[in-house]
Amino acid sequence: MAGITFIKVSKIYDNGYEAVKYINLEIRDGEFMVLVGPSGCGKSTTLRMIAGLESVSSGELYIGGELMNNVDPRDRNIAMVFQNYALYPHMTVYDNMAFGLKLKKVDKKEIDRRIKEVSKTLDIDTQLNKKPKELSGGQRQRVALGRAIVRNPQVFLMDEPLSNLDAKLRVQMRAELIRLHQELKTTFVYVTHDQTEAMTMGTRICVMKDGIIQQVATPEEIYNKPDNLFVAGFIGSPQMNFYRGKLVEEESKYYLIGDNGEYGNFKFSIEVENKENLKSHIGRDLIFGVRPEHIKLTEEDGLKAKVMVTELLGSEVHVHIHVQDEIHTIKTDASTHIKSGDIVNVKPYSNKIHLFDPETQNALR
């Protein structure tokens, strides 16, 4: 087991492209850290630097307190599971799992013991004599995991390991990986572009964009207190709704006022944690964000808007409305009679409004 520390680490590829920019990140011993962000933001590069598959261009990378910049991948005691599993097709499941241990000259009996134990945990103990092509996608994924686990690494690295599985299996494997982490108590670093995977699996999440870390926090913190506009929009599905409006103060209460074209103006009251911090923004245009589940339908006042579409998702309905030339989403319960073309009145919960500075895009609170 080991923690991982990045100090001012950058990665510049040979063609001059800076894929990771001066990151500081502390991955704690035994935690399940998920690196998440859109395609191309530098997640895999970060993971591959931990593995030693990419060199560190500048800065320092430590695993278990030891500087790793010049340590060979084989000497790092880490295991990596890839999206395409990278199993040897001509070898049986057993031999695939044994391969790394044989190279390390582990005793045959010990290899056998570990494979039997791990294959039971992963429910592939009846598949040991098969070749990878005789297995389902989910079973192959388990073999890839098993091959990593038998090596007893101090760090597990996973790069989009579930993206080749169908939706149902993905959900199942997600739960298994969480269980596996609880059982092994080893440091997991997991790369995904899927915010649902990040939210459900990570003990902490590191959100990246353009090679820069945007926020590192628990799923709850990231969801409830996103540090900037990007994190607010990236995490959560359907995504947070953003309005343009002005912050005003009336009788020491705060309101946000805005304009929704032909449907007129709106005014929302807002509760803020720290009024002092917002004083300098009174009278200024801000961006404010509200999650779909934090908006209620009202009879009067609030914001008037036209319904574009409604989607029934079993227990709830997503109502998509037209606001300030964008489509906003409201979650409501399945009993609603709202239909497309209706004009609705909506109002965000006053204590659930996120404020952002339109210039810096940072959260104001």
Alpha-carbon dihedral angle through residues 87, 91, 92, 93, given to the nearest 10 degrees? -20
In the bound complex, what is the minimum distance in angstroms from residue 48's beta carbon to ligand ADP?
7
Residue reference for tokens 């808007």: 305
In angstroms, the CA 108 to CA 207 distance is: 43
Residue 357 CB, nearest approach to ligand ADP (Å):
26
- The strand pairing partners of 355, in sequence order, are 288, 364
Ordered DSSP codes for 192-232: ES-HHHHHHH-SEEEEEETTEEEEEE-HHHHHHS-SBHHHH
Nearer to ligand ADP, 41 or 256 (CB): 41
Neighbour count for residue 101 (Cβ, 10 Å): 20
Q: Nearer Cβ to ligand ADP, position 127 or 192?
A: 192
Residue among 116 and 209 whose Cβ is closer to ligand ADP = 209
Residues 77-136 that bind ligand ADP (CB under 6 A): none
Which of residues 19 and 165 has its CB atom nearest to ligand ADP in the complex?
Answer: 19
Amino acid in position 228: N
| Widest distance between CA atoms in the chain | 79
358 lies in the site for ligand ADP, by CB under 6 A: no
Alpha helices in the chain (DSSP H): 43-51, 93-103, 108-121, 137-149, 167-184, 195-201, 219-224, 229-234, 275-278
Min CB(210)–ligand ADP separation in Å: 9
Q: Closest distance between ligand ADP and the C-beta of residue 84, in Å?
A: 14
Query: Closer to ligand ADP at the Cβ: 16 or 89?
Result: 16
Nearest distance from C-beta of residue 199 to ligand ADP, angstroms = 18
CB-nearer residue toward ligand ADP: 39 or 70: 39
Site for ligand ADP in 4-63 (CB under 6 A): 13, 15, 17, 19, 37, 39-45
Shortest separation between residue 336's beta carbon and ligand ADP, angstroms: 39
Binding site for ligand ADP (CB under 6 A): 13, 15, 17, 19, 37, 39-45
